[in-house]
A = this chain, B = another copy of it.
Amino acid sequence: MLSRIEDMATLSRKQREIAQRHQLFLDIARNLINKEGCAAVSMDHLAELSEYSRGTVYQHFPCKEEVLIEVCNSSMSYLLSLFERARAIPHSNRDRILAVMVAHNYFDLRQPHCNKILQYTSDNSIMDKVSEANLQQHNKLEKSLLLVVSSIVGEALKTKELTMPKDLTAIELVFGLWSLNHGSQLLQAAELHLDEFGITQPEETIARVVAATLDGLNWKPLYDAKKHKAMMQWLKDTVFVDPQMADDAEEI
């Protein structure tokens, strides 16, 4: 990860070139994943498309898996920034939960490769090829994402908007919400033809189901169809709106 803007000034011309090339490889990989899936990412391919040789690619990444996890991590840190934006909205904590859901959906629409990589690498034999450093960064990012949701729930407990029942802890609720969101996004990405079943707006549907869940836990303020709809609209139109069709947090 040598490609951050603030580092650029302190690096020599040569080092900047290397960092730039590193980013080029990542960009090519991301495109490949979006267009043809993870299986299409090969060192050969990367070399060919970048017009460098295989050896040069191996200078940057010890193996294909390392490419994938770096692309994934860079997207996830962008997702984290979206989550933090969601947490910061000046509304009830319930609405903040909603905002996180919208953020996640916004992200998955624009960065479909991230889930693809996560699924591809969930296979046993793949994740244990990547470097310790990137793996740790990956875990840290995942934990940070959960912590954002967790902190919103914690805040709601503090303000008494929510009181946990005896047989469910705050972190368990977070796990439930996370599962719901994660599951729906994978189902959306899968070749399930949800519309054939009558699911035309999965995002709205999940938001509604989350609302039912929070109602079931008596998280105040309870669901109000009109306000819910208005909030969703506001989030989509104002908070999570393409800045400039940016497709990654990392820019050079």
Contacts and interface: CB of A to CB of B under 8 A. Distances in A.
Contact of A202 (B124, B175, B182): B175
A31 to B, nearest CB: 13
A11 interface: no
A245 interface: no
Interface string A135-164: 000000010001000000000000000000
B186 A122 contact: yes
A121 to B, nearest CB: 9
A168 B125 contact: no
A134 interface: no
A49 interface: no
Given A175-B199, A180-B180, A192-B142, A36 B186 contact: no
A171 B189 contact: no
A14 B112 CA distance: 48
A178 interface: yes
B125 A208 contact: no
For the residues of A in contact with B, the DSSP-based class is: helix
Contacts of A39: 123-126
A216 B208 CA distance: 11
Interface in A169-221: 169, 171-173, 175-176, 178-184, 186-187, 189-192, 194, 197-199, 202, 205-206, 208-209, 211-217
A146 B212 CA distance: 21
A36 B171 CA distance: 31
Nearest to A187: B179
Given A39-B125, A123-B37, A182 B187 contact: yes
Contacts of A118: 190
A38 interface: yes
A122 B125 contact: no
B124 A37 contact: yes
A167 interface: yes
Contacts of A211: 216
Contacts of A198: 169, 171-172
27 contacts: A37-B123, A39-B125, A40-B125, A119-B119, A122-B190, A166-B225, A168-B212, A171-B197, A171-B199, A172-B208, A175-B197, A175-B205, A178-B187, A179-B181, A179-B209, A180-B183, A182-B183, A182-B186, A183-B183, A183-B184, A186-B186, A211-B216, A212-B213, A212-B217, A213-B213, A214-B216, A216-B217
